Structure 1
Amino acid sequence: MTHFGIGVSTAVAAVPGTLKLALQADQAGLDLLTVSDHPYYADRLDAYAEIGVLLGRTERISGLVSVTNLPTRPASMLARTITSLSALTGGRIVLGMGVGGLWDDIARLGFTKLTPGQAVRAFEEGVRLVKMLGGGGEPVTFDGEFYQVTNLEPAEEAMPPLWTGSVGPKSLAVTGRVADGWMPGRAADWLSERYRTSRPVIDQAAVDAGRDPGDIVTVYNFPGRITTEALKNTRADDGRWIGGSPDQWIEELTGAVLEHGAAGFVLFGPGGSTPDETSAARWAGEIVPAVREAVAK
């Protein structure tokens, strides 16, 4: 399955538009609504409060916090949040997890500032523990460097797919060992240097862990303009996607799936902005159905 989504704002001031865009995406048949997680900013909504409300207002679309700021959301509680949302929505949730990067901001919230090495080790422990706390089974005891639980009963609800936003080589290797998917950082796509150097790290770590690299999907945050007329150049001099007409988007995304194994795309506006209503309608009504049809052939 190829996933098609849209990134929505977390701004408190944008709530009416965000609710409208979520309903539009759901009714148009998109697969994913995504929100970012920056709880240290007072003018931003809490990601899980927002995704819970958006899922409560919609019927078919799934939610994804892209990606959960793990240092501010302890793994055992994150697992409870995710399995609860899954139970409440009939499984309409994907779990995104990240190492954490803005450590001065994280520290201002009262959480311990970790070194890069500690952060990656805590990330791997967190992913492993979260996965153990869904799907029923025997009580879990976990005695790690950063996480400890004793005889904690897993939720009966299955843990949904877990995608990471790994960037550095050590966290990419964690993705290969324990995750189900990867969303390349900084909106890198399948033609980028970041992808070309990062995906092999994931694949090798998967092989070393006895896993099939093909089981780890790649889903892209993909910003760009949707224009009425075709653009002469759809990519900038540095290779980054600019956008183009619906036909140009359709050609680009179809090629990404068929030639590069892309498993999904989340639309953003230029520079990572929230797509406007017109762009969202063209994405869901013209581009996504055509790509789905082309891929199915």
Structure 2
Amino acid sequence: MPPHQPLFGTGVSTALGEVEESLRLAVRADRQGLDLITVSDHPYYAARLDAYAQLGVVLGRTGRVSGLVSVTNLPSRPAPMLARTVTSLSALTGGRLVLGMGAGGLWDDIARLGVPRLGPGAAVRALEEAITLVRLLCGGGGAVTFEGEFYEVRDLEPAPVEAPPVWTGSVGPRSLEVTGRVADGWIPGHAADWLSPRYRESRPLIDEAAVGAGRDPRDVATVFNLPGVITDAPLAAPRDREGRWRGGSVAQWVEELTGAVLEFGAAGFVHFRTDDTPAEVTLGRWAEEIAPAVREAVLAART
């Protein structure tokens, strides 16, 4: 990837019963200098907040941090309306938005919303078509007429707001190829990290598709969802027997993440707490100790 400072983010709960804590943590993350706050999108669960409603309130209470729905449940959010949502949020927040896109995975749940069920191949084609259409409906210009397999609009005026960066949560080969052709970033599924088989097998598919589309593969950033504990003392084994990252002390995190940026081109990390350490403590270690140290180490290595 081109040299830049890695992004650091945190995921907050979408549970209705945790509204106040989620908002408090989001404001704290903004004040502590994080780059990104993420929320999940599961509209078929009544006990979850609507992702874009939550994100709008979060961005309204913060002043610096960007927001990401990781990732948008596209089958339940038609692309033309999604374009209006993201351009509105972008205009209201000074562009503090990243558009996460997914083809849809939990189809039994999605279908309960009354959304027509799509097979895997059709869902991936719909994803690529939606990304294309959302971008056409951003940035102003002449009226858009689009006749696709899944979407059709006629003489629809684009919003005079630039399109946000588009990141996907692609997992399968065909959706990974979509990411390489049209996306700006990739969030590996199932909390895969830079040493995982999933990453090693998937990233080449993105790169090959990018080259085939005449793009530089380095223009597709990789941002990792990274669960793990942040401990007072070092762990004897920061990774488990299968090689999955477990966590460790601040120093162990800094060493691991710095290597991920410099050796594997990681563009950023979104942390998720996995133990019962108070959320404020974990967030403080992540935002005020780990993130600045990694940024400093990366900058020193690149200058």
Compute the TM-score of the two structures, normalised by the length of structure 2: 0.96
Q: How does 1:70-89 map to 2 (within 5 A)?
A: 70-89=74-93
Q: Is 1:230 the equivalent of 2:234?
A: yes
Residue type at the aligned position of 1:59: G
Structure 1 residue 174: Cα displacement: 0.3
Q: C-alpha separation between the residues in 2 aligned to 1:277 and 1:143? A: 49
Q: How does 1:160-171 map to 2 (within 5 A)?
A: 160-171=164-175
Q: C-alpha separation between the residues in 2 aligned to 1:274 and 1:287? A: 16
Structure 1 residue 158: Cα displacement: 0.2
Point out where structure 2 has 5 or more consecutive residues left out of the alignment.
Answer: none
Partner residue in 1 for 2:280: 277
SS at 1:186's partner residue? coil
Partner residue in 1 for 2:298: 295
Point out where structure 1 has 5 or more consecutive residues left out of the alignment.
Answer: none
User: How many residues were matched structurally?
Assistant: 296
Q: C-alpha separation between the residues in 1 aligned to 2:192 and 2:246? A: 12
CA RMSD of aligned residues (A): 1.2
Structure 1 residue 275: Cα displacement: 7.6
Structure 1 residues 131 and 190, CA gap change in structure 2 (3 angstroms): same
Structure 1 residue 274: Cα displacement: 11
Structure 1 residue 245: Cα displacement: 0.1
Q: Is 1:32 the equivalent of 2:36?
A: yes
Partner residue in 1 for 2:198: 194
Given that 1:8 and 1:18 are in contact with CA atoms closer than 8 Å, whether structure 2 keeps it comes out as yes
Given that 1:227 and 1:244 are in contact with CA atoms closer than 8 Å, whether structure 2 keeps it comes out as yes
Q: C-alpha separation between the residues in 2 aligned to 1:138 and 1:60? A: 32
SS at 2:190's partner residue? helix
Q: C-alpha separation between the residues in 2 aligned to 1:132 and 1:187? A: 31
| Residue number among 252, 259, 267 corresponding to 1:255 in the alignment | 259
Structure 1 residues 226 and 212, CA gap change in structure 2 (3 angstroms): same
Residue type at the aligned position of 2:159: A
Residue type at the aligned position of 1:158: E
Structure 1 residue 269: Cα displacement: 1.4
**Structure 1 stretch displaced more, 162-171 or 151-160:** 151-160
Given that 1:268 and 1:275 are in contact with CA atoms closer than 8 Å, whether structure 2 keeps it comes out as no
Structure 1 residue 270: Cα displacement: 2.0
SS at 1:218's partner residue? strand
Q: C-alpha separation between the residues in 1 aligned to 2:220 and 2:231? A: 33
SS at 1:163's partner residue? strand
1:147-201 CA-to-partner distances (Å, cap 9, x unmatched) read 0011111111100100000000000000000000000000001100000000000
Q: C-alpha separation between the residues in 2 aligned to 1:25 and 1:15? A: 15
Q: C-alpha separation between the residues in 1 aligned to 2:136 and 2:180? A: 17
Q: C-alpha separation between the residues in 1 aligned to 2:218 and 2:193? A: 18
Q: C-alpha separation between the residues in 1 aligned to 2:274 and 2:247? A: 9
Q: Is 1:183 the equivalent of 2:187?
A: yes
Structure 1 residues 79 and 258, CA gap change in structure 2 (3 angstroms): same
Compute the TM-score of the two structures, normalised by the length of structure 1: 0.98
Given that 1:8 and 1:35 are in contact with CA atoms closer than 8 Å, whether structure 2 keeps it comes out as yes
Partner residue in 1 for 2:116: 112
Structure 1 residue 131: Cα displacement: 1.1
SS at 2:204's partner residue? helix
Structure 1 residues 295 and 189, CA gap change in structure 2 (3 angstroms): same
Q: C-alpha separation between the residues in 2 aligned to 1:223 and 1:50? A: 22
Partner residue in 2 for 1:215: 219
| Residue number among 83, 98, 103 corresponding to 1:99 in the alignment | 103
